[in-house]
Amino acid sequence: MATPTKSILITGAGLVGSLLSIYLRRRGYEVSIYERRGDMRKETVEAGRSINLALSDRGIKALQGVGIAEEVLQIAIPMHGRHLHQPDGSHAFQPYGKEGQYINSVSRHELNCKLLDLAEREGVHLHFHQRCDHVNWKKKEVHFAGPNETSTVPFDLLFGADGAYSATRLSHMLQHQKFDYQQYYIDCGYKELSIPAGAAGAFQLEKNALHIWPRGNYMLIALPNLDGSFTGTLFFPFEGETSFERLKTEADVEAFFRQTFPDLVPLVPDLARQFFHNPTSSLVTVKCFPWVRGDHFALIGDAAHAIVPFFGQGMNAGFEDCTVLAELMEQWGDDWEPILAEYQALRKPDGDAIADLAINNFTEMRARTADPKFLLQKKIEAWVHESHPDQWIPAYSQVTFSPHIRYSEALRNSQRQEAIMQEVMKDPDIAENWKREDVKERILAALRG
């Protein structure tokens, strides 16, 4: 293959921008990344607002595509299931899937630094402290504001990988005749609360699990870090009876945590300090269309499809965008118009689907602890899956461990399964009768029908 001459500009040196740049370098393109913030490998970055990441099969597949999965997994910790912390102090463990299926806790910061190192090693040009001011679509150049001066950077092809609040997307939106756009917030925010390592770097909670304290309409989760600490995240309503606005003093916070998360309190000595020091962040979903312009622009990752974190798929979805682009580059070579058109046609429905799946999971999680009928339904589903693992695959497994199933298929399948289960649950005696072969047969027949 002759070296292509296109110069490619990426806005955003986050996870997806960095990985994308490696993919593009491998095909011989000149690639520059312009990032609004500083170089996180050298400068301290804004702390206290990273949700830890759960790297799963779609993300790993994308890393394998450029041969860096093993290197990345060295900084990850396998989590084999959910470790539930109940209000009464009892515990329960729910495996995520079958034996050998797990997701991987990884620090956003460490992963991003690793990807930037790898990108630099591949010859990607990195520029920091460059805020995208606007894009001149006619001249194909981006205007950046630096710390002291502005600059104008021409491009043949521009990728907007600059996240949920993408500045390139805004420029695209404001200068596009018919741009469909939607951003909406859930009524919960989140706050990071760090659980330090114990003596000599000991893990204070079970290491290989994702810890959840489900509490109806809010919850706390914690993911392990390599140094023995856990990154905790409280998902909590902004307003209402139990909410951020009601916890006003350190005494409020301490009383609330002692009552609600009693087993957590001894592990976090500076809980109240952290609570008021760390910012409260909001959770947005973004859907938009179109994602591309001709042969010279595409949105990717959160800039195209920001989602809430309740399915653990934000990064994985963005990485999968790279996998799909790579397959299309393989097919179309240097012909970017069909590459971008097919990328959009394939990924737009999948981006919408994972956004909906993530919102559904948020809604479901709220109901989960309150509704015994829902718990029974999940028990029946698990039982059917166990005996017929290829016919009845739980939505979680389809999304997390089945990268050959598209998100849009997984959504359709899960809706179909839900409809079937709704019928089954109508039986007034289901609580007594469920573990019978005829119930299972009825479910499987409905699935086949």
Q: Write down the residue that tokens 């970055």 correspond to.
A: 45
DSSP E strand boundaries for 362-428: none
DSSP E strand boundaries for 111-179: 125-127, 131-136, 141-145, 150-154, 157-160
State how far Cα 288 lies from the chain centre: 18
Shorter beta-carbon distance to its own copies: residue 64 or 363: 363
State the minimum distance, in angstroms, from the CB of residue 39 to its own copies. 26
Contact residues for 29 (Cβ-Cβ < 8 A; gap 6+): 4, 6, 7, 8
How far is residue 110's CA from residue 104's CA, in Å, rounded to a whole number? 13
How many angstroms separate the Cα of 431 from the Cα of each of 114, 142, 260, 366, 426? 50, 62, 30, 22, 11
DSSP notation for 390-407: TT---HHHHHHH-TTS-H
Query: Which residues are 31's β-sheet partners?
Result: 8
Shorter beta-carbon distance to its own copies: residue 287 or 406: 287
State the minimum distance, in angstroms, from the CB of residue 179 to its own copies. 7
Shorter beta-carbon distance to its own copies: residue 11 or 104: 11
State the minimum distance, in angstroms, from the CB of residue 274 to its own copies. 21
Report which of 159, 156, 178 is spatially closest to residue 167, judged by C-alpha positions. 159
Shorter beta-carbon distance to its own copies: residue 93 or 184: 184
Shorter beta-carbon distance to its own copies: residue 189 or 224: 189
Residue 293's H or E segment, with its range, is strand 292-293
**Would you tell me which residues interact with its own copies (CB under 8 A)?**
170, 174, 177-185, 238, 282, 284
Shorter beta-carbon distance to its own copies: residue 179 or 276: 179
H-helix segments, 105-190: 108-121, 167-174
State the minimum distance, in angstroms, from the CB of residue 185 to its own copies. 4
State the minimum distance, in angstroms, from the CB of residue 181 to its own copies. 5
State the minimum distance, in angstroms, from the CB of residue 284 to its own copies. 8
State the minimum distance, in angstroms, from the CB of residue 165 to its own copies. 9
Shorter beta-carbon distance to its own copies: residue 93 or 185: 185
